[in-house]
Amino acid sequence: MEDTRSPSGDTSNDVFFRLEALHSADTLNYRIIVQSESEVRDIQNAPAISMSYFITESNQTKLLTTLSIYSQRGETSDQVRLLYMNDVAFSIWKAMGKEPKIIGSQHRPPSTALLTFGIPFSE
């Protein structure tokens, strides 16, 4: 049987699994951000309020057609609200000076999450 290794020493399976891992990371469109009870009490941590103001004031209203934020109720005082932000929304949130606590990422928000701001998820 022939040796199927490339000049770099990788087999086709090595390359496949590496590419699959890279592709999988690209499909994790939504970052999961957790907000504590004290963060939720501050109205500036409500994306629909503070982000819309920031986008309008910075003349970036065209971004409204590309950002997507879903929210879901948490289960503890440390995790009162979960936000699911796509890359555009997350970039804006960071540009606003926010320091979100990211607890994960996934391809799409769960069906139990509600659209909070922006456009619905679509493939």
Each domain of the chain, given as residue ranges in start order, spans 28-118
pLDDT at 121 (0 to 100):
81
Give the integer Cα–Cα distance in Å for 89 and 30: 9
- What are the mean pLDDT values of the chain's consecutive 10-residue runs (123 residues total)? 56 60 64 97 95 92 93 94 96 94 95 95 71
Give the integer Cα–Cα distance in Å for 88 and 91: 5
